[in-house]
Amino acid sequence: MDDIKLTYIPDSHGFIQVFIAAKDGETVEAWFNAFWNHNATNGELEWVFDNEASFCSNWKRFTRAMQDIFLFMILNENEDAYKGEKGGAMTRAKELAKAKIDGMEKKDGSMRYGRVGHVYSMGEVYTNDEKAFTSGRNAGE
């Protein structure tokens, strides 16, 4: 999981928008499929850039998916490595998932509005010699 960077934006209802950034879109899509397969989301992948996309989840589903992903990675590497140990490979998978989640950067989801100019900074707006007409001259003369 070192080939991706995970960040998130939380909302006030317990949901999170998880962002996956990688060297290319193919890697992002592969990791999204892993999260989908481990039930972190049932939503769509929303592309932000060519190499970054996001999906919606909640902490419970996302944490469980991370644990399962790390468990499968451990077992694929060496399925006998944790035989006979209490909790098996799941204990290590939970540790790795917690470390990865704790290392996730929280993105700032607030909107920023700046003042571009003063409301009256556009100058005067008027139509077809309206200024001349209102100053006492006839518009057609």
**Does some domain include residue 67?**
yes
Domain of residue 69, CATH code:
3.30.70
Quick check: 93 and 74 in contact, CB under 8 A? yes
pLDDT 10s digits, 9-31: 998 888 999 999 999 999 999 99
Which residue, 58, 140, 62, is CA-closest to 101? 62
Count up the domains in the chain and report the number. 1
pLDDT 10s digits, 60-70: 999 999 999 99
**Does some domain include residue 66?**
yes
- Domain assignment of residue 77, given as a range: 4-106
- Per cent of the chain over pLDDT 90 is 60
CA distances from 124 to 85, 121, 132 (A): 80, 9, 13
**Does some domain include residue 111?**
no
Quick check: 55 and 41 in contact, CB under 8 A? yes
Q: Report the predicted TM-score, pTM, of the whole model to 2 decimal places.
A: 0.72
Strand stretches in the chain, DSSP E:
4-10, 15-22, 46-49, 52-58, 105-106
